[in-house]
């Protein structure tokens, strides 16, 4: 019994020791063959990448881009490979892009939700995939090789590291200004949105002017501040484009088509309505907007007769109204708020 006991009790240990020995032996055998294994793995990996790119190109109707050393970027019917495949109920609207020696900087205006960010990203993806040797999602594409792609794109808040959205935005922009060259591609998405409108527009303006005049990199700048369109200047290569939207009976319709020109309105209130903001709040916002646009500083007493409408406001709604800034909010946060509001409406 005693003998048997010690065999059983030490079994685990011996098992572990055996396992370790076998593992070590295997490792040594493999290490001995390392050069051969690596030699075999490299072409297998390359083949894997190339066949994945080929399959993607075949299945998604990509074309072979033409690469050049010119400072150009000429895309016909470009698409965003991920958005077109996974996110859409409606068909994806393809868009052209032209950047060349005399038009280096596109200022893309358009309301929130129009498709500006998608357009920026799809073109950066086309350049990137072209330069890694892949086919690209477009009908035609001439890509002048870029040395780097710089992006300043929102959403990646860095609150965890104690840096405000605006600080992150500005330090990333500063980094771009320090490092971009004439051969770079720069994407600036809503630079300046993280602060007040006037600050934001002024910063965006100065940054754009500097990039166009002194850097000369091919640049796409998306903004819903249509005031910035006044920056367009043929002399330094800044041109206006807009993602078109129309309004019908107070409802905004997004056409998703990028054309030359300027967006005249921001349709913020219409988008808020689409998102399900209660009608009385939307109506109140329209009145305040009319005052702003008429050069009147809105003041509570202008709307006294409307106050009754708001008598039913709950503390949650009150807090919501105080906190929400549609210009700073991400689509995900907007959705969360929508659910909260719905919960509120049902709770009452």
Ligand X SMILES: Nc1ncnc2c1ncn2[C@@H]1O[C@H](COP(=O)(O)OP(=O)(O)O)[C@@H](O)[C@H]1O
Residues of this chain that bind ligand X (CB under 6 A):
83, 87-88, 90, 92-93, 95, 110, 112-118, 256
Stretch that binds Mg ion, among 103-111, 112-120, 260-268, 286-294 (CB under 5 A): 112-120
- Is residue 117 part of the contact set for Mg ion (CB under 5 A)? yes
Length of the chain: 348
DSSP string covering 142-170: EEE--S-EEEE-TT--BGGGTB-HHHHHH
Give CA–CA dist 1/3, Å, rounded. 5
CB of 80 vs ligand X, minimal distance in Å: 7
- Output the CA torsion sign for 254, 188, 207, 202: positive
CB of 189 to ligand X, least distance (A): 7
For ligand X, give the closer residue by CB, 208 or 242: 242
Nearer to ligand X, 80 or 218 (CB): 80
Q: What DSSP state is assigned to residue 296?
A: P
**Region of 97-105, 113-121, 225-233, 334-342 interacting with Mg ion (CB under 5 A):** 113-121
Report d(CA 341, CA 181) in Å as an integer. Answer: 47
47: its two tokens = 């083949």
User: Which of 176/271 has CB closer to Mg ion?
Assistant: 271
Using CA atoms, how far apart are residues 280 and 306, in angstroms rounded to an integer?
9
Nearer of residues 186 and 317 to ligand X, judged by Cβ: 186
Q: How far is the CB of 95 from ligand X (least distance, A)?
A: 6
Closest CB 253 distance from ligand X, rounded Å: 12
Partner interacting with residue 218 (select from ligand X, Mg ion, none; CB below 5-8 Å by kind):
none
Report the partner that residue 73 touches, choosing among Mg ion, ligand X, none (CB closer than 5 to 8 A by kind).
Answer: none
What is the nearest approach in angstroms of Mg ion to the Cβ of residue 92? 16
By beta-carbon proximity to Mg ion, the closer residue of 113 and 127 is: 113
Q: Which does 83 bind (CB under 5 to 8 A by kind): Mg ion, ligand X, none?
A: ligand X
Alpha carbon of residue 226 to chain centroid: 19
Burial letters 179-193, b for 16+ CB under 10 A, else e: ebeeebbbbbbbbbb
Q: Which does 93 bind (CB under 5 to 8 A by kind): ligand X, Mg ion, none?
A: ligand X
Nearest by Cα to 237 from 208, 204, 259, 203: 208
Q: Do residues 240 and 232 touch, judged by C-beta distance below 8 A?
A: yes
The answer to whether 242 contacts Mg ion (rule: CB under 5 A) is no
Span between the terminal Cα atoms of the chain, in Å: 75
The one of Mg ion, ligand X, none whose footprint includes residue 240, by CB under 5 to 8 A per kind, is none
Binding site for Mg ion (CB under 5 A): 116-117
């Amino acid at each position: 019994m005693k003998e048997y006991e010690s065999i059983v009790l030490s079994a685990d240990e011996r098992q572990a020791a055996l396992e370790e020995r076998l593992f070590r032996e295997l490792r040594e055998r493999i290490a001995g063959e390392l050069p051969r294994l690596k030699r075999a793995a490299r072409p297998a990996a390359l083949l894997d990448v190339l066949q994945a790119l080929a399959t993607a190109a075949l299945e998604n109707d990509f074309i072979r881009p033409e690469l050049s050393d010119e400072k150009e970027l000429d895309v016909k019917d470009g698409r965003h490979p991920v958005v077109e495949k996974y996110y859409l109920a409606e068909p994806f609207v393809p868009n052209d892009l032209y950047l060349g020696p005399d038009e280096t900087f596109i200022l893309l205006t358009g309301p929130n939700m129009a498709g500006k960010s998608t357009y920026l990203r799809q073109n950066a993806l086309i350049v990137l995939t072209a330069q890694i040797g892949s086919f690209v999602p477009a009908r035609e594409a001439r890509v002048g090789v870029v040395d780097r792609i710089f992006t300043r794109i929102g959403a990646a808040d860095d609150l965890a590291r104690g840096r405000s959205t605006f600080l992150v935005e500005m330090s990333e922009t500063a980094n771009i200004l320090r490092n971009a060259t004439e051969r770079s591609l720069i994407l600036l998405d809503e630079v300046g949105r993280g602060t007040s409108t006037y600050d934001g527009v002024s910063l965006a303006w100065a940054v754009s002017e500097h990039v166009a005049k002194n850097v000369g990199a091919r640049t796409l700048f998306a903004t819903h501040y249509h005031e910035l369109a006044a920056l367009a200047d043929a002399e330094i290569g800044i041109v206006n484009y807009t993602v078109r939207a129309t309004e019908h009976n107070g409802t905004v319709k997004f056409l998703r088509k990028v054309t030359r020109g300027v967006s005249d309105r921001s349709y913020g209130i219409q988008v808020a309505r689409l998102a399900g903001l209660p009608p009385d709040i939307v109506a109140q916002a329209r009145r305040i907007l009319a005052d702003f646009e008429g050069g009147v500083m809105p003041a509570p007493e202008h709307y006294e007769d409307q106050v009754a409408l708001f008598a039913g406001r709950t503390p949650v709604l009150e807090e919501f109204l105080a906190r929400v800034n549609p210009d700073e909010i991400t689509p995900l946060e907007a959705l969360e708020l929508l659910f909260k509001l719905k919960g509120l409406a049902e709770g009452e």
